[in-house]
Amino acid sequence: MNILLKSAKIVCPENKALHLKKRDILIQKGVIEKIAVSIDSPSNSKTINYKNLHVSLGWFDSSVSFGEPGFEERETIDNGIHVAGTSGFTDILLNPNTNPIPDTSSDIVFIKERAKANSTNLYPLGSLTKKSEGKELAELFDMKNAGAVAFYDFKKQIPNPNLLKIALLYAQNFDGLVFSFPQDGQIKGKGMVHEGEVSTKLGLKGIPDLAEELQVSRDLFILEYTGGKLHIPTISTANSVKLIANAKKKGLDISCSVAIHNLVFTDENLEEFDTNYKVSPPLRSKSDCKALIKGLKDGVIDFVTSDHIPIDIEEKRVEFDNATNGTIGLESAFGSLNQICGLEMAISLLTKGRERFGIASPVFKEGEKACLTLFDPDLEAVFNLDDIKSTSKNSMFLESKLKGKIYGIINNNQLSI
């Protein structure tokens, strides 16, 4: 496919010669053939000349859930990949929260086969333990060879510290990356929202910051003992940021992420008992929210994620106590992040993180493969149901004012708009 982008403003802080410059970009057979002030349209190319067209390297998301296999009513792989592409993402990591849970090499092969030949690249995470039960390590080495980029018991703590120790030691033999969800289940108990003034007022069982910070502290002590590579997904408290900052100063091989909704919303949004705001980790206090944003700006938090989790309506339209955790976030990721951080930082956050998972980062220059996201960063609009392409509609961003419109992506010699 041959494509000519006309008068596209390039947002690429890594390439100072092109950053914030307007250029025509000719893409032929999936490769950036030419970047120039003006390029005549070849007869066999599709010309794209959208209003206020901006272009960056393709975006990456480290925590995306669909449903297939087992929960296709939430989201299929095909539609999920379409949603990711039209939301600007060229590369996503798929969480292991299906049925069956992917804990063998054949499970990883199935997911990769279902997702191949698309404009958005899907990289599966394998379960760290068999059936994600936290008792016995899964086939980590075999799953790595089959294409798993890391290992994660999705949204579940590793209850046995010795098991985490063994996992970190074992994974070093093949440069494996271990995830550990930051929540102590015994401290959490039956809690479902942030423990504080709001939970007390609403009569909802709370999850104290301690539940997260105790787990983070434990995991960092184990990492310091064993060595290896650890990733802590979706932290949510101010003290977690401090703990990870100290670990990085010690030289530990640690990374972490934050869900975009934990940067935007707080526990005060729970006052209407809207189950779309029920997530794990929970929405925290304003002070936690501010600390997370500062942690991003300081570089302590490595990257952001939509933490996209489709949940069908039957599991959300119930009493708050009984509702399933999760919000979708792919479609609203850029519009919300752009408001919080501004354009350049938002793009920097959305394009970083691939190397942590052994994925090659794209490069914005002539002769390189075209892996690009097309967007308008200035259009402001209220996010509504018509903007949701996911099968499930459980978004806490509904009725929020967002800034930015996604036109689509160019990747793998395909145009997805």
59 φ/ψ angles, rounded to the nearest 5 degrees: -90, 155
344 shares a domain with 370: no
Q: Which domain-ending residue is among 357, 384, 405?
A: 357
Catalytic residue among 24, 61, 288, 307, which? 307
Q: Report the b/e string of 344-370 with b at 16+ CB within 10 A.
A: eebbbbbbbbbebbeeeebebeeeebb
Last-in-domain residue among 357, 376, 400: 357
Residues 85 and 191 in one domain: yes
Q: Are residues 41 and 166 in the same domain?
A: no
Q: Which residue has the tokens 């995306």?
A: 64
Q: What is the CA radius of gyration of the chain?
A: 21
Per DSSP, helices labelled H in 24-160 are: 77-86, 105-115, 140-146
- Residue type, position 279, single letter: V
pLDDT score recorded for residue 43? 84
Q: Are residues 341 and 371 in the same domain?
A: no
- Residue 70 and residue 49 share a domain: no
The helix/strand/coil state of 220 is: helix
Of 309, 328, 357, which residue constitutes the final position of a domain? Answer: 357
The order of strands in the sheet holding 303-305 is 177-179, 229-232, 254-259, 303-305
Q: Are residues 381 and 282 in the same domain?
A: no
pLDDT on residue 48: 96
What single-letter amino acid sits at 409?
Answer: I
- Does residue 307 have an active-site annotation? yes
Q: Which two three-digit tokens encode residue 289?
A: 């929210």
The 10 Å Cβ neighbour count of residue 17 is 9
Of 382, 373, 348, 212, the C-alpha closest to 284 is 212
DSSP assignments along 312-363, one per residue: -GGGTSS-GGGPPP-B--TTTHHHHHHHHH-HHHHHHHHH--GGGGT-PPP-
Residues 148 and 256 in one domain: yes
What is the predicted pLDDT for the residue at 304? 98
Number of domains, the chain:
2
Give 10-residue mean pLDDT values along the chain (417 residues): 95 93 96 96 91 97 97 96 98 97 97 96 98 97 98 97 98 98 97 97 97 98 98 98 98 98 97 97 98 96 98 96 97 97 96 97 96 98 96 97 97 94
Cis peptide before 69 (omega within 30 of 0): yes
Phi/psi of residue 54, nearest 5 degrees: -120, 155
At 412, which CATH number? Answer: 2.30.40.10
* pLDDT, position 203: 96
On whether the CB atoms of residues 85 and 77 are closer than 8 A, the answer is no
Using CA atoms, how far apart are residues 265 and 277, in angstroms rounded to an integer?
9
Same domain for 76 and 138, yes or no, is yes
Residues 6+ apart with CB under 8 A from 200: 206
Buried b (16+ CB within 10 A) or exposed e, 162-193: ebbbebbebbeeeebbbbbbbbbeebbeebbb
Its domain, for residue 293, covers: 59-357
**Nearest one of 149, 152, 154 to 164, comparing CA atoms:** 152
Q: What is the pLDDT of residue 362?
A: 96
How far is Cα 396 from Cα 50, in angstroms, rounded to an integer?
29
Task: Say if residue 376 is in the same domain as residue 281.
Answer: no
pLDDT at 307: 98
Which pLDDT does position 121 carry in this prediction? 98
> For residue 411, what are its two tokens?
């990747």
Q: Are residues 136 and 206 in the same domain?
A: yes
- Are 197 and 149 contained in the same domain? yes
> What is the residue type of 15?
N
Cα dihedral 210, 214, 216, 222, rounded to 10, equals 180
Query: The domain that contains 269 carries what CATH number?
Result: 3.20.20.140
Predicted pLDDT at 14: 87
State whether 148 and 293 are in the same domain. yes
